[in-house]
Structure 1
């Protein structure tokens, strides 16, 4: 028999975030730069990284526009989006990330894009504004080989591995970002990380990785403000959303994270919608409503390791539906 949990209203210091402000506003010139015009072949045999970057850079130099990805399977290493660029994936297009570790190691030239440790992501955004990834294609990180290396490390050390692997999409110190319609699949670790940024919309995306895939969070808003997460599908191996604050922001000493709306999403495997693990700089004005979780390990959680917590306030959980969730509500979990 299925267990059904309906959480009608559970609020901490009730105050709803404003959806009118928690979202991106983007617009792009009509210019279109087709990656195949720049040499991309879309066979999944030859590397198309250089062709993609040429299309992005040329479109940016001309004032911005849409970098178009036609139907095909494109094998790429890390690419770097710029301000006023929309990367648009046509139906039946797929970007497949190389499994060559060396491609993701940070260099002096790519240091502004570093995501964690000495890694960059497959798709990188830094110090930019008015950027979008849209369409109905898919970005596949080919994470299986990375997950197996994680397991080998865990067996060798006798304890769990870490997240010392590339992310799939990483944005930092940027504003007005739109992610819409595209599938993010099989990341080596976290799928979409948005850090130190503001005015972000994630809408109608799908995030998919095997349930046993380690540390494959779908969306991690980190020290980010004004973010709208709506109508997405989640089926991953870790948190479907993990709101985090890693440091105190001197400009916002009470809340490095604020105005986050998570609404109308569906989740299957995964570890639920979380605030934490780290809340060091404070989190406030978060609205989590009308989401559905089925078959997940966790439902909704506020969690932190000891010594890495901060003030969490003005949080609203409303009309969230859970079916066969192992642990529906894990509030104030100390890891």
Structure 2
């Protein structure tokens, strides 16, 4: 019996090692007992089975781009040399395409199956600012088919591919982006305007060209209209900013150790890929970079994001699955994803789901991540029209500090604006109306969030569902948050809190519950004085309970409004 138990334990350990390690790092991972312990603790607590992610294997044959005519002088355009090396490697059965130390200017690079593009430390792969090198293609943008410029790095229908090494891949994104005045200092703004380009009517947004401005002012500019060809979009070409790397329908993909930076739009965009590993990456974009996401995993299956660092202009680590009808027709959820041991610095959200989640998302396992200075920590967003079901989300051991907005946010009224309003902007609350449930109605349910510590946020937790389908079955355990404001819940069902500690210092009421039912607080611990413990509002509010919480005069510190009354609350 003892031997059987040992064998089972070793099997679990081996499974964890397989899902977490590329072939070359299995040996070192075996000695990392803390990593194994963390993974087993997560598996045992949630009673889940995490995926095993297959990783690519390559021949040792090496194809040095120098032998194909490449020059590291920062002037020579090495597009042909690099792509010729990749093609030759592929035709010979695969191997390594080597980019040595140096500054390599290039146009778009197209990956091929069985090729590991390896950048040695000191290598900078710099993509040309000459936009004519990037042809217009029929691509994908924010979950829909759309006109785009060819991405600096791309691959379609490939298998067994990698980008590895300690080098840097730079997308030269500044030549592509529009920039808002409020995101720069006065001197930065003056320098940008003096560099060329043009301003919009109110002189608060800088555009790099007339072509970009025309696209910005054209409704649904990138939508491919019936009867039109790509040539018909040429006068708006600059508007269709490419993502730095797009991999479409690829299998067994490894991105390891590389720095990806300065993307024109999203950084890394795997679309409909399977068996994808992102390990020890650094992804950087300027904080003012519009749509400057770190990584957007869209409609992918069996994914590991591990040990990576993100400091970007939009969402950090984001899960997507298509937008509206296009996403529902595709019908490919993002599923079986492990996100662990990552750090996110500046970003709109640390770990994010949505808003393009129309194909759904499930079986996401997120643990041992840190968010420092993000606008929102855990950010889950959607809106009517999307449809899609997000469920079976397991999150544990999250550390946060200096969060500008909400530490944890669920919002089904996403409005495609910065989560923290800029100077002069106003974020009005949406008008709540009851609509019929259709295939366009999105759903968030079955989330499990535990062991979260946040030192500093504007608001602790914000949950805003829809009246026709509430956010439901959300479970929190062992949460400690220091914030200005506390917890706000509306249009939600079956939300449980166990061991919730709140240090909120700038709020009239610690917790607000509106038009929600079955909301329970077990072992609630206020860590600062408060005027009102709980505000209940709305005729639909019922089944709110507080138990195992020593709060003097708790009943006297509850207020009711908009039809809620004392029958909706139980204090034990």
Instruction: Confirm whether residue 294 of structure 1 aligns to residue 339 of structure 2.
Output: no
Instruction: Confirm whether residue 270 of structure 1 aligns to residue 315 of structure 2.
Output: no
Q: Flag the structure with more relative contact order, 1 or 2, with Cα contacts below 8 A and sequence separation at least 6.
A: 1
Indicate if the aligned counterparts of 2:328 and 2:387 stay in contact, CA closer than 8 A. Answer: no
CA apart distance, 1:81: 0.6
Instruction: Confirm whether residue 330 of structure 1 aligns to residue 409 of structure 2.
Output: yes
- The size of the alignment, in residue pairs, is 314
Provide structure 1 residue ranges, at least 5 long, that are not aligned to the other structure.
1-13
In 1, Cα distance between equivalents of 2:397 and 2:104: 41
Compare CA radii of gyration and give the structure with the larger one. 2
TM-score scaled by structure 1?
A: 0.87
In 2, Cα distance between equivalents of 1:125 and 1:259: 22
Shift of the 301–295 alpha-carbon distance from structure 1 to 2, 3 Å rule, reads: same
Which runs of structure 2 are paired with 1:153-192 in the superposition (5 Å)?
155-156=200-201, 164-192=240-268
Per the alignment, residue 57 of structure 1 pairs with 87
Indicate if the aligned counterparts of 2:247 and 2:271 stay in contact, CA closer than 8 A. Answer: yes
Shift of the 237–84 alpha-carbon distance from structure 1 to 2, 3 Å rule, reads: same
Per the alignment, residue 236 of structure 1 pairs with 312
In 2, Cα distance between equivalents of 1:17 and 1:159: 50
Indicate if the aligned counterparts of 2:180 and 2:288 stay in contact, CA closer than 8 A. Answer: no
Indicate if the aligned counterparts of 1:113 and 1:172 stay in contact, CA closer than 8 A. Answer: no
Shift of the 65–156 alpha-carbon distance from structure 1 to 2, 3 Å rule, reads: farther
Indicate if the aligned counterparts of 1:16 and 1:315 stay in contact, CA closer than 8 A. Answer: no
Which runs of structure 2 are paired with 1:1-335 in the superposition (5 Å)?
16=48, 18=50, 20-21=51-52, 23-106=53-136, 116-148=146-178, 155-156=200-201, 164-246=240-322, 247-248=327-328, 253=331, 256-272=333-349, 273-326=351-404, 327-335=406-414
CA apart distance, 1:288: 1.2
In 2, Cα distance between equivalents of 1:178 and 1:264: 17
Higher helix share: 2
Shift of the 156–46 alpha-carbon distance from structure 1 to 2, 3 Å rule, reads: farther
Shift of the 258–82 alpha-carbon distance from structure 1 to 2, 3 Å rule, reads: same
In 2, Cα distance between equivalents of 1:17 and 1:275: 21
CA apart distance, 1:68: 0.3
User: Could you say what the CA RMSD is over the residues aligned between the two structures, in angstroms?
Assistant: 2.4
Shift of the 249–181 alpha-carbon distance from structure 1 to 2, 3 Å rule, reads: farther
Indicate if the aligned counterparts of 1:17 and 1:286 stay in contact, CA closer than 8 A. Answer: no
Provide structure 2 residue ranges, at least 5 long, that are not aligned to the other structure.
1-45, 182-196, 206-215, 222-238, 415-572
